[in-house]
Amino acid sequence: MSKKRLPQDVIDQWPEIFKDVNIEVIPLYYLDSVRVTFENGKVWDIDTSKALSEGADEDLESALDDIFNEYEEEIVNVDFRLDIEKVKRDIQKRTNRFLKKRK
């Protein structure tokens, strides 16, 4: 089983935490955007943060699935852009909560 690592630019933002992270699934609420690159050079930037802030997470998931299925043969790369600040806040918040319970 191959380990999927975060991109180096993400790791560089919080190396003591992100350097050892292996990913299998990215929750939608941590996505900032999705960049889809096609064979013909066309690039689509999909602003997922806006859709999620409007509460359209199921619609977003369905729309992304539809795009990936419809253009599967033409897509050369999909780049999931994370909201690193949100990930950091959640990790810090949950760590603090865990440490308080341990006292």
Quick check: is 28 in a domain?
yes
Q: Max Cα separation, the chain?
A: 58
Residues 6+ apart with CB under 8 A from 34: 45, 46, 48, 64, 78, 79, 80, 81
Quick check: is 3 in a domain?
no
**pLDDT for res 11:** 76
CA angle 85, 87, 92 (to 5 degrees): 95
pTM (2 d.p.)? 0.67
Quick check: is 33 in a domain?
yes
**pLDDT for res 1:** 42
**pLDDT for res 37:** 94
Domain count, the chain: 1
**pLDDT for res 22:** 66
Quick check: is 2 in a domain?
no
**CA distances from residue 101 to 69, 89, 91, 94, 97 in whole angstroms, order as listed:** 45, 18, 15, 11, 6
Quick check: is 86 in a domain?
yes
What residues make up the domain containing 76?
A: 8-102
**pLDDT for res 95:** 86
**pLDDT for res 58:** 74
| Residue numbers of the chain with a pLDDT score lower than 50 | 1-2
**pLDDT for res 103:** 59
Residues 6+ apart with CB under 8 A from 43: 35, 36, 37
d(CA 33, CA 97): 29
pLDDT digits (tens, 9 = 90+) for 60-84: 888 888 999 999 999 999 888 888 8
DSSP annotation of 14: S
